[in-house]
Amino acid sequence: MAYSTYYLRYAIGMFADYPPEVKVAVSVTVMCLILMVIMGVALILLSHKEKKLRKIRMNFEEKFGKGMDFMLSAEAQKLMSTQEIAAVFGIAKENIGKEILKNRREKEIFVQMFYLRFITERSDSANRNNITALLYLFGIPEYLEKEVSLRSMKRKVDAMGKIRTFKLPVSPWVINKLLNSKYLTVQRLAMYSNIMLSSDSDLDYFETDFFDKHCCIKDEIELAYSLQRRRRAGLKLPNLARWANIQKNERSQCMFVRLMRRFDELEYCDQLTELFKTQHRKKKLIEEISRTWGYLHYTDSEDLLIDALLAEPDDTKVAIMHALTRFATGKSLHALLEGFTNTTNPHVRFEALRCMYNYGEAGRAQFDELERNAEEGDRKFFDFFKNDITLEKIGLDKEQAYHPSVETVYNG
């Protein structure tokens, strides 16, 4: 470096008597030449590195490729011992437990090869325990945990994604470290991976304010996916109602209540009662709790819903009426009648009639009686059910009147 600096100064000194613009041109030219040399050397080194990696891949493909394909085939369905798996890959018995892949680069190439096969060629008949034993044989779980602890966000996310895909157990210290990451992407990945893989149903990080600050539609999708994978693995689902009670933000509370509905969590419905009684200002939350109780047929909430129907504003009455219609015990029929007569809101009146119409024989009888005694201004509501006229003709625009049928609301 000292020699290059000396020659650069010498070259510039040769032009000491030349005009300034010539000196600048010479300096720029020399610097460009130096940069070109540096770039050329870098390209040569990168090319050499790529050739070396390609050689390792080809060597691994020849050495381990057939074994990987076999382990993902139906032929490997029966449970295999570590010795049998080692024999598939041509590993001697005395080398089991030793480091087969010598460095991080070899492990990276091996896990990438197997990962690509796993997500494109995997068969449901392949034995998951055999795959886990194979990964431990080659030291992959330890390698992935080390990758997760690195500073690079890209490598953290990539390694955690592979842990999720292979369903490998994760050390608590790894999860805790990721949960404290400054990157939201890493925090989310750690949470959803732990939901999917952890045998513990009491997940403490939902007691933090993470979802109060950062909840979005992506979280609901990720949570639903992780919980579904957890259920398929035979693990107990966590108490979603408890999570809903812990949150302060209405959006995150609604998300957990909707997930209760999606996963049929009837046993925890009673834990939403206090939330329903005390959070009257959160109209969306009241609606979601009502829909969840109705869908899950939590009939213990019927008296509470009847009282709420008479007290709540028009914005939340529709969801409550649909929930009561799902119960159809007869107790709430009078409340539906009051819901129709005690409001001038055309949307609420229309939905009250819809609920009576779908309530069963008693509801249909009450509907017919109302129709016989209906005033001229109300007859348009009844005509909708009898003559299938358009919504516009009963004075409702599409946004105001669109509300799915009872079955669509709870099954959609």
| Residue-range domain boundaries for the chain | 297-412
Q: Considering only the C-alpha atoms of the chain, give the largest distance between any 2 of them, rounded to a whole number of Å.
A: 111
Decide if pLDDT at 390 tops 70: no
Higher pLDDT, 343 or 22: 343
The mean-pLDDT minimum among 15-29, 81-95, 239-253, 392-406 falls in 392-406
Residue 33: the pLDDT is: 80
Q: By three-state DSSP, how is residue 126 classified?
A: coil
Rg (C-alpha) for the chain, rounded Å, is 33
DSSP letter at 51 equals: H
Amino acid at 277: K
Residue 342: the pLDDT is: 84
- Specify the pTM: 0.69
In the chain, the percentage of residues whose pLDDT exceeds 90 is 11
Max mean pLDDT among 9-13, 319-323, 351-355 falls in 319-323
What band does 309 get if pLDDT is binned at 50, 70 and 90?
confident
Max mean pLDDT among 29-33, 82-86, 388-392 falls in 82-86
Residue 410: the pLDDT is: 31
Using one digit for the tens of pLDDT, what is the confidence trace for 296-306?
A: 999 999 999 99
Residue 51: the pLDDT is: 72
Residue 258: the pLDDT is: 93
How large is the average pLDDT for residues 117-123? 73
Closest of 298, 231, 285 to residue 258, by C-alpha: 285
Decide if pLDDT at 404 tops 60: no
- CA gap 273, 251 in Å, rounded: 18
What band does 381 get if pLDDT is binned at 50, 70 and 90?
confident
DSSP secondary structure string for all residues of 231-295: HHTTPPPP-HHHHHHH--SHHHHHHHHHHHHHTT-GGGGGGGHHHHHH-TT-HHHHHHHHHHHHH
What band does 254 get if pLDDT is binned at 50, 70 and 90?
very high
Residue 274: the pLDDT is: 92
Decide if pLDDT at 18 tops 70: no
What residues contact residue 93 under an 8 Å CB cut-off, 6+ apart? 83, 86
Q: Are 380 and 391 in contact (CB under 8 A)?
A: no
Residue 201: the pLDDT is: 59
Q: pLDDT averaged over the chain?
A: 79
Using one digit for the tens of pLDDT, what is the confidence trace for 44-101?
A: 766 666 677 788 788 888 888 888 888 888 788 888 888 988 888 888 888 888 888 8
- CA gap 237, 261 in Å, rounded: 13
Amino acid at 336: L
Higher pLDDT, 209 or 390: 209
Higher pLDDT, 208 or 344: 344
**Tokens representing 353?**
């009639």
155 Cα distance to chain centroid: 20
Decide if pLDDT at 411 tops 50: no
Closest of 232, 266, 258 to residue 128, by C-alpha: 232
Residue 152: the pLDDT is: 81
Using a 10 angstrom Cβ sphere, with 0-12 exposed, 13-18 middle and 19 or more buried, the burial of residue 253 is buried
Specify the residue for token string 């998951």: 128
DSSP letter at 46 equals: H
Decide if pLDDT at 335 tops 90: no
Q: Pinpoint the alpha helices (H) of 358-401.
A: 361-372, 379-387, 398-401
Residue 5: the pLDDT is: 58
Q: By three-state DSSP, how is residue 89 classified?
A: coil
- CA gap 244, 207 in Å, rounded: 10
Using a 10 angstrom Cβ sphere, with 0-12 exposed, 13-18 middle and 19 or more buried, the burial of residue 110 is buried
- CA gap 368, 339 in Å, rounded: 16
DSSP secondary structure string for all residues of 164-233: HHHT----HHHHHHHHT-S-HHHHHHHHHHHHHH-S-S--GGGGSSHHHHH--HHHHHHHHHHHHHHHHT
